[in-house]
Amino acid sequence: MAEVLPAEGIRLGLTAADKWDAIRQCGAVLLELDAVEAGYPETMLEREKSVSTFIGEGVAIPHGTDESRALVRNTTLGVLQFPGGVDWDGQTVTICVAIAAKGNEHVQVLSALAQILMDPAQAERLRTSSSPDEVRTLLESIGKDLET
């Protein structure tokens, strides 16, 4: 799990001025983790301009465009929690799962994340967690099929 969701990629108790600020923070985390090259965060903003990454249950999944996969060094997730909520086109987002995925690994990541979020209790735990370890436990299934 350390490769896909490193402990230092979990940021709790953050604030964001708006969804664009939240997406920029997501990109900055992926850069800090050395998961992506410098141009990737900008493609996350481009993706959001074309298609909202809000997926329900207070969760958004900012990620780059299809073309930006070449800028991904390692499939990595960042989890950023905004307890006060961020307005996301009229919806409130409290969790952003920043995704950097190589090749077609994003399909597996999105599928695993959807399985977790289909359980409202799990989604609620993710939104309200005050422990990075709890977040890792909730999301550990995402990395299992991807790690070698």
Bridge-based pairing of strands 91-100 and 54-56 is unpaired
Q: Which long-range contacts (CB under 8 A, 24 or more apart) does 111-114 make?
A: 112/141, 112/142, 112/145, 113/55, 113/61, 113/139, 113/142, 114/55
CA distance linking residue 80 with residue 83, whole number of Å = 10
Given the residues 19, 24, 47, 63, the one annotated as active site: 63
Angle at 39 between CA 37 and CA 42, to 5 degrees: 130
- Contact between 8 and 77 under an 8 Å Cβ cutoff? The reply is no
Catalytic residue list contains 106: no
Q: Which residues are catalytic?
A: 63
